[in-house]
Amino acid sequence: MQSNSLAKLTGVVLAGGKSQRMGTDKAALQWQGSSLLKSRFTLLETALNTECYVSGHYPGFRHIEDSNEPMGPLSGLHSCLQALPEQFCLFVPVDMPLLNEPVLDFMINHHRIKPGNYYCSNSVFPIIVEASENNLRCLSEVLSLPIAKQRSIKAFLNLIQATELDVPKEFESALVNTNTPEQWQSIKDKVGEQQ
């Protein structure tokens, strides 16, 4: 598919992981009056002003289940790019509670000016990836690498020659993800979130 400004931009919350380091499903963590998943989903729908999806098994949402053996966020990306052909997808991870609309607007505006594959400096996520045959082929190639450490989002983004966006300093604190109970508590303490 030829990239063009008419290509649809669809939002996807990546939430299909096992949350092993957190010890509980990150999507279900309570954040500012709702689940972390619901807050990230609402953020995406608001920023894009369109229906969005969740990657993973979440029947309470429009969701796309992983069709491959679970291999972290790459499996979710692969399933979503297969399910949403001929468009661009804005992927945000469920475990970025401080991610906000100005950061997403920054990325969306870059995409509107020049549609393409994008990721954030110092963070990788959020990312915009085209659901093209070439990108799916590259993603399959990364998923088939024999060593687990080689199978990374960054390896995929490098392979498709995604554009790294220099995130303004004022946005950097919004790009923190939480993988452990200690990181989660630190974020909650930072914003004064109650237990």
> Are 177 and 96 contacting, i.e. CB atoms less than 8 angstroms apart?
yes
> How would residue 194 be classed by pLDDT, with cut points 50, 70 and 90?
very low
Q: Say how far apart CA 195 and CA 79 lie, in whole Å.
A: 35
Confidence at residue 17, expressed as pLDDT on a 0 to 100 scale: 63
List pLDDT tens digits, range 58-71: 999 999 988 766 67
Domain ranges of the chain: 8-191
- Dihedral sign from CA coordinates of 66, 68, 71, 74: negative
List pLDDT tens digits, range 76-124: 999 999 999 989 999 999 999 999 999 999 999 999 999 999 999 988 8
Residue 130 β-bridge partners: 88
Confidence at residue 18, expressed as pLDDT on a 0 to 100 scale: 61
Q: Say how far apart CA 80 and CA 33 lie, in whole Å.
A: 28
Residue 118 β-bridge partners: 128, 163
Confidence at residue 108, expressed as pLDDT on a 0 to 100 scale: 95
Confidence at residue 20, expressed as pLDDT on a 0 to 100 scale: 61
Is a pLDDT exceeding 70 seen at residue 3? no
Mean pLDDT of all residues belonging to the chain: 88
List pLDDT tens digits, range 129-186: 999 999 999 999 999 998 888 999 999 999 999 999 999 999 999 999 888 888 888 8
CA dihedral 89, 90, 95, 101 (to 10 degrees): -160
> How would residue 2 be classed by pLDDT, with cut points 50, 70 and 90?
very low
> How would residue 188 be classed by pLDDT, with cut points 50, 70 and 90?
confident
pTM for this entry: 0.91
Give domain 8-191's CATH superfamily: Spore Coat Polysaccharide Biosynthesis Protein SpsA; Chain A (3.90.550.10)
Among candidate residues 61, 88, 128, the one with its CA nearest the CA of residue 4 = 88
Is a pLDDT exceeding 50 seen at residue 36? yes
